[in-house]
Structures are given as structure tokens and as C-alpha cells.
Structure 1
Amino acid sequence: MAGLLIGIEEHWVHEGIDRAQRALPADRRDDSLVLNDHGDAARRLGDIGSERLAAMDAQGVDMQVLSLAPPGTQGLDAAEAVALSRDANDEVAAAVAAHPDRFRAFATLPLADPHAAAVELERAAALGLVGVMLHGRTGDVLIDDPRFEELWTVAEQLRQPVFIHPQIPPRAVRDASYTGLGGLPDLALATFSWGWHLEAGTAALRLMARGVLDRHPSLQLVIGHWGELLLFWHDRADGLARAAGLERSITEYLRENVWITASGMLDPAMLRHALSITTPDRLLFSTDHPFQQPTREEIAAFLTALPDQQARDAFASGNARRLFGLAG
């Protein structure tokens, strides 16, 4: 496998945030936290040093863009979220400074306090962080709520891409649609097998429907898992754009404001479909560390599914360098 390889959805865990999330009362706690404990995930998530670098070397990954594993600070009270977001951003910035040729990082924001989130994004950008990862909901407030307008303004002005990551559906939705199969199957249905992806895709779709990308036409979004189903339903979703009186169709937003990453799902069929909707210069490589662990050989084989060397280089690193302003 020749050329630089940059993974842009590569997770870590901040000890203070993890402890605060697990200390929440049962009715506020994110049940998907148990997935961070599966197998060796907890140990791998906690390392942003030598063990991670060794795993990257084994895969042939030259650089990771680090991002906090879900649920981040979302669901925490505002004051705690503000303090812990600052701590997490300082810690990950230090990891980047220690290994500047191997790491970059997304900011963590305290969305429970929308103004503080915008301020922290400015601070994080000054630290050298290259974007932000967030989820579609904090408590009962969706990210398309007007109170986040300042955040989108700052993200656009600072050219900070916004990665919308999946999160577990609200408890009322889970009770209505994701229960009855049994403990672990219920959780799987609500998270990695289905619910996570509907939540992330819906969050992105709602941002478009609210006109956020009309008011901030330079704002760039990143969506994982081959577009969180939106690439498969774009034509029907265009009807929402017409109903909402948007300036462009959903398909146009997907092609002009959205970048798609594989999230470790190295499936040539997914790639072919993505390329039928968007273009090679909008696709990004990622392994979804440590939840997916593709081997060097699997990564190399997948890259051959791209149509030509230019598309392979763009997917492997060129698009990430352009989106995140990475040198080299």
C-alpha cells in the first residue's frame, strides 16, 4: 500500500468525561457506554500513545484524527460539560503536540451551554484542533435548534468541519421501537446495527431542513458509515427540501457541503453506491478505531476498488489534507 493514509474517525476516551457519564443516574446514563468496554476496547480507547501508534503501524495508517468516543460530554450538566470539554481538548492537543506527524484531533464541545460551545470551538481551533465531533442531541435539545446558530457561525468562519457522529436514540424512541428482543439484541438494534445511524442521518437532515446550510453555505459537515443512510435515500429526501423551501436540494447539500467517511466499513458495494451519488473528492478513509480493526491487507485490497490512482490517493489522504488543512 503506497502513499499516505489518514484515518479521520479514530476514537479515544477522556477519563474524567467517562467517569462523569457513568456517574449519571440510570435515567440519564447512556446505555451505549457498555460498548466501550467490549473486548479490549476500553484499554485501546484509553491509549493515545505507544499502543495506538503500534496499532497504526501494523495497519499502515500514518495519521489519525482523534475524536472522543460517544457520548462525549452530551447529556452532562452545562457547568460540568464546559470544564470537562476544556480538559479533553487540552489533553488531546498535548497528544498532538507530542506526535505531530501522527495525530490531529477534533474538538469536544459542551453543547449543554451553546454560547460556551462556540467559545470553546474558538479556543480549540487556536490550540490547533482541526474540527469538531458532536452528536445530534444533547439532553432533549437537537443540534438544529436556533440556540446553536452562534456555533455554526463560528465553525463556518474558522473553517472547522463538523463531524455528526451517531448516538443512542432517546429513551422514549427506544421504548417505542427498539425493545422486546431482549437485553443485548435491544441494545444492538438501538445502536450499531440500526438506531445510531438513523439518529445521525436524521440530525444531518434536520440541519439541512432548518436552513443551516443556506445561512452558512461554506459550513462543511462530515458523516460516517457511508453517509448514515442518506446516500441511499437522497432522492426521497429531496422532497423535504421542496417542502421546507430550501435553496438547494438535499442531494446538492450532500454533494457540496458533506464529506462521507467509511468508518471502517470497507465494503466495495458501499463505495460504488457512494460514487454514484457523490464524487471521489468527497470521500474520506477511517478505521473507526478501536471498534473496527481492518488489517493492512484488508485496507490495501479495499483501495484497489477505487476507480483509479487519483481517487485512491484522494480517499487515502488527499481529501483529508484538503478538508482539515493538513500540510504534506
Structure 2
Amino acid sequence: MTDRNDASGLEGDASAMRFVGLEEHFVVPDVLAAWQALDPLLQDFALIPASKGEMAHQLADLGERRLADMAETGLDVQVLSLTTPGVQSLDADAAVTLQFAANELLAETVRSRPEHYQGLATLATPAPEKAARELERAVTELGLDGAMLYGRTRDENLDDPRFWSIFEAAEALRAPLYLHPQTPPPSVREAYYSGLGAAGVALGTHRLGWHYETGVQLLRLIISGVFDRFPDLQVVVGHWGESVLFFLERLAPIAAIAGLERPLVEYFRTNISVTPSGMFSPRYLRWAIDLVGVDRIMFATDYPFEVAPSGGARRFLQEADLSDADRMKIASGNWERMRAGIRR
């Protein structure tokens, strides 16, 4: 029997597609309090929308408001994850305590509405071994579907070997890791984005800086040999590859310079999947298909940070120049296939 969400060879009515968004966020009061207690130099700019205004209410709501917003934009399932910067900027003890609490809440939320919610675990990367054990617990006991990670743990990049126990656990579980943007370090913000007022803050975060930051972190994972050491590791990135796809041909020679085992593009075609993160651009979709193929593209709306018009999420794929089979792969089939391969 073929699951209607498994799009392999599937043709059918595009209006009946099930839409699953992989980058859909929430926040909880204890995490907000921990962020607010940090030294200002360690605070992520995402603290502002997470704690003030309309987005703060949307992030905090795991009930009817969120479901109504999903229905409005045309999303059937949100794969929930703790918003930027997770617990990675906290000290180890606080991070470990909050990863446990956040994952328990997330699992309870998923159990309450399994037809609408799935989840990516929060990991306390300041304590990598405990984070690896928590990933195993989250997948095998709590029923979560991988984890959301951010590129830096304070001033340490994610490719540092001390974090490799997390990749080892993820590969063994066949559980995907979603690599999400975070604000560039203060020195980078000062050097490149200062002196421009509010426009500089926007440029250094949600307009450009977040995406360059994450693209560099993704490239560091590849260049440092993480995927050579863990060849079955699966990583998902948003915003159509966080700028890297658009420079992939330019970047190609770096594989030889770094002594990698495969051409650079092959890592994207075997280990990395991309989502739109609410950037519903037909041009970017065509580019991503050309570079990595339709089987490496999943869906995401980046709730609540990107605002889609009524029905906009669903309409983007319905109107795209795709076969129904490919449309359904991107809407949910590719994710459901990856999810089905997780070792519980």
C-alpha cells in the first residue's frame, strides 16, 4: 500500500497535497528568561521579536492561534523547533536543563495534535556528549524527528571536533539536523554592518547576515570533513541553501584544496537538503532543482518570521512549473521519506 505522502512516482490532484513545513518556530518563557539574563554581547538579536510584539505572541502560542495561522497560509503540519539561538548561547548547565524541558514540552505538544505537529529537538551543544544523548532520547523515547542546530556555540564553530559526538549520534539514528541561521558574532557585526542604523541591523541579520553566517557554517562542515567522516549524516538548511547554492560553481575547486573525498556538489546531492523558509521564489526553486535535484528540496514557511498572503504557502507549489509528482515530493513526500528512515 502506498502512503499518499510518499510522492515516489505519484501523480494526482495537486489541491489534495499535504503541506509540511520544516522550519516553524516556538519559544517558551524559561528560555526567554535565560536569554535575557545573558551578557548583552552574547544575546542574539532574535531576542527582540521573540519577546516583544506580535511575533512574540505567535511564537508562544502552541494552540488555536497557531493552527488558525497554519490554515490561513495553507500549511497542514508544522515541524516545530525552538527559535534562534536555541540554547547554544547559554552556559552548559542551563543549556542542559532547558534542552530537557523544551523537548518534553515539544513532545507533549506533538502528542496532543499529531495530525498537525511534528518536532525537531533542542540540543545543549555547550555540553556535546549530553546533547548527543538527548538527541537519542528525543528520537527513540519522545518521538521527535531530529534536531535544530545553530552554527556557533558562543565563539565555537559547529565543525569543531568536540561537537562530532552529535553528528555520530545523528548518523546512527538516521535523524536529520536542521542548520538554522543565527546572528553573526559582535566583531563581524561591528566590522560589516555598523553605522547604518536600523538598516544595518536588518542587513546584518534577516536580510543578509544571518544567511552568510549559516552558509559559511555549512561550508565549514563540508570542508572540515564532517561528511567524509559521517557519510550518512543528513543536514537540512533553509533559504534555498543559505546563499551557498548561488556560488556552488565558484566554490567547486575548494573540494580539491581541502582534500575532500568527493566533488562539492555531491555533498549537496547526498547529504544536504534545502527548504525555501518562506522565500516563495519560482526563480530560486528552478535554481535549486537544477543544482541539487527535486529529491533534495523540502518545504518550510519560517513561521512566524515570514508572512505569506492567504493561501500563499500552498499556492506557491500549486502554481510552480512542476509535475504533480515533483510538487508532492517538495510539499511533504521528501520529508516523509526521510522521516520514515529514522531509527526509533
TM-score of the superposed pair, with normalisation by structure 1: 0.96
SS in 1 for 2:23: strand
| Partners of 1:326 and 1:156 in 2: CA distance | 11
Aligned residue for 1:310?
325
- The CA RMSD over aligned residues, in Å, is 1.4
SS in 2 for 1:91: helix
Aligned residue for 1:325?
340
Is contact 1:32-1:187 (8 Å) kept? no
Is contact 2:236-2:275 (8 Å) kept? yes
| Partners of 1:148 and 1:156 in 2: CA distance | 13
How do 1:17-96 and structure 2 match up within 5 A? 17-37=31-51, 39-96=53-110
- Specify every segment of 5 or more residues in structure 1 that has no aligned partner in the other structure, as ranges: none
How do 1:78-117 and structure 2 match up within 5 A? 78-117=92-131
Aligned residue for 2:157?
142
Amino acid at match of 1:132: A
Q: Which has the higher contact order (CA 8 A, sep 6+)?
A: 2
Aligned residue for 2:12?
none
For residues 67 and 100 of structure 1, do their structure 2 counterparts lie closer, same or farther at Cα, with a shift above 3 Å needed? same
4+ residue segments displaced more than 4 Å? none
For residues 190 and 9 of structure 1, do their structure 2 counterparts lie closer, same or farther at Cα, with a shift above 3 Å needed? same
Aligned residue for 1:15?
29
Q: State the Cα deviation string for residues 32-90 of structure 1 (Å, max 9, x = none).
A: 31133564100000011121112112222111100111011011000000000100000
Is contact 2:17-2:328 (8 Å) kept? yes
Q: How far is the alpha carbon of 1:296 from its aligned partner?
A: 4.5
SS in 2 for 1:233: helix
Is contact 1:161-1:222 (8 Å) kept? yes
SS in 2 for 1:284: coil
| Partners of 1:319 and 1:22 in 2: CA distance | 38
How do 1:291-306 and structure 2 match up within 5 A? 291-303=305-317, 304-306=319-321
Picking from 185, 188, 191, the partner of 1:173 is 188
How do 1:112-127 and structure 2 match up within 5 A? 112-126=126-140, 127=142
Amino acid at match of 2:212: L
Is contact 1:178-1:190 (8 Å) kept? yes
Amino acid at match of 2:20: I
TM-score of the superposed pair, with normalisation by structure 2: 0.92
Aligned residue for 2:253?
239
| Partners of 2:22 and 2:207 in 1: CA distance | 21
Amino acid at match of 1:275: I
Q: Does 1:258 align with 2:257?
A: no
Is contact 2:74-2:311 (8 Å) kept? no
Aligned residue for 2:240?
226
Q: How far is the alpha carbon of 1:173 from its aligned partner?
A: 1.0
| Partners of 2:212 and 2:193 in 1: CA distance | 12
Aligned residue for 2:295?
281
| Partners of 2:224 and 2:252 in 1: CA distance | 14
| Partners of 1:159 and 1:219 in 2: CA distance | 7
| Partners of 1:185 and 1:60 in 2: CA distance | 31
Amino acid at match of 2:306: Q
| Partners of 1:61 and 1:16 in 2: CA distance | 28
How many equivalent pairs are there? 326
Aligned residue for 2:9?
none
SS in 2 for 1:305: coil
Picking from 157, 171, 176, the partner of 1:156 is 171
SS in 2 for 1:31: coil
| Partners of 1:38 and 1:236 in 2: CA distance | 41
Picking from 177, 190, 204, the partner of 1:190 is 204
| Partners of 2:200 and 2:168 in 1: CA distance | 38
318-327 or 157-166, larger mean C-alpha shift:
318-327
Amino acid at match of 1:208: I
Amino acid at match of 1:165: H
For residues 176 and 5 of structure 1, do their structure 2 counterparts lie closer, same or farther at Cα, with a shift above 3 Å needed? same
Q: Does 1:210 align with 2:224?
A: yes
Q: How far is the alpha carbon of 1:298 from its aligned partner?
A: 2.4
